Structure 1
Amino acid sequence: MGLSASTRVQKSLGAAPEFTSACAAVYADCLSLSQHAFPGVKPYQLFSATARLHSRLSQSLRLISNWLPHPPDRVHVDRALKAAVLSRRPPRTDEDEDGIVLDQTEFQEFALEVFSDAVVSAARLALLKRLPLGAAGIAGAAAVVKPGKDVVVVAIGAYALGVATSIYLSLDA
């Protein structure tokens, strides 16, 4: 398969022109809503910006509409802020986030991180739901037919590989 799921999603989203234009539009909206009081987007604006971005992306990107019926939650937003922006900046002496402002490039990196994290989390959840149900179905059918242990193990393994592969391949925009 080659790439990890999160790398695959990030490459897919990063290459989509719809993603870039939606990020630029939402960034401009954030500046407008704050009446250009800041030179960029403040951390307190990111949750609502993510919801607006989700609204735009779910209409134009199949990856988002398939995997994210709802905008990413605050946990994803906070994790993405730390991973995409705060981890790349020099350590701060004060603990508050008052001085943090995201420019357009950082905002797009944040958006890429939050949406790829949310999509991969949704894919993992789908995998965790599908595998036990299918394995139980195969085991239940095997209890009736009694084909032998090796056949059941191979069938469950093939099913698991098929489900994992189908989910992985669907992580393209």
Structure 2
Amino acid sequence: MGLSPSKQVAGNLESSAEFAAACTTVYNQSLSLTFPGIPRYQIASAADRLYQTLADLHLPLIDKWVTSPPTRSQIDKSLRRTVPEGAGDDGIVTLGESEFKEFAVDLYTGVIVSNAEKAVLVKVMSGVGVIGGVGVVVRSGVTVVGTVVGVYAVGVATVVYLSFSG
């Protein structure tokens, strides 16, 4: 578990031939006759088409952690991280193919890690409730219950982290 979850996910997406092909397909579909790339205002619709393309490919990482298209706020957040605000000489910001792929990797890394964090939180909270209930019934000490909760939380986080490798 030497890599952070976001680096693990980003590495998996960047090395995926299917993900790269989906990005290229959506990029080529999005090209406009008037711009040498995808204009900023078309990014949301391109992101929606990318989600549909990835869903059709049934990539395990996408199928498990991305159950719906990224939200507009997730798209905007990734766009701000990957494309400088004032880029473009004519005031129209467009993404080339490599910039679109960088945006897509950042977007899906964020979505996957966010959804995984939510899953860990839900699993840990429900497990803590069960462990605490059992501790009360069997009258275990606080130290024993706390140790079991800690071990359980680490186990859940490890299982989720290991699922990022494919």
Name the residue aligned to 1:26: 26
Structure 2 Cα separation of the partners of residues 59 and 140 of structure 1: 43
Cα deviation, residue 114, structure 1: 0.5
Partner of 1:81: 79
Structure 2 runs not aligned, ≥5 long: none
**1:66 Cα offset (Å):** 0.5
**TM-score normalised by structure 2 residue count:** 0.93
- CA distance in structure 2 between the partners assigned to 1:130 and 1:43 by the alignment: 38
The question of whether the paired residues in 1 share the 8 Å contact of 2:40 and 2:92 is answered with no
1:131 aligns with 2:132: no
What is the root-mean-square deviation of aligned Cα atoms in Å? 1.8
- Unmatched 5+ residue regions in structure 1? none
How far did 1:127 drift? 1.4
SS at match of 1:69: coil
Kindly, what percent of the aligned residue pairs are identical?
40
Q: Using the alignment, how far apart are the partners of 2:84 and 2:160 within structure 1?
A: 31
State the shift of 1:58 in Å.
2.1
- Runs of 4 or more, structure 1, over 4 Å off, are none
Q: In the comparison of the two structures, how many residue pairs are matched?
A: 165
Correspondence 1:7 to 2:10: no
What whole-Å deviation, never above 9, does each CA across 1:66-119 have from its counterpart, x for those lacking one?
0011011011111111111227xxx56x9xx94201111101100011011111
Contact 1:59 1:65 in 2 (8 A): no
**Equivalence for 1:62:** 60
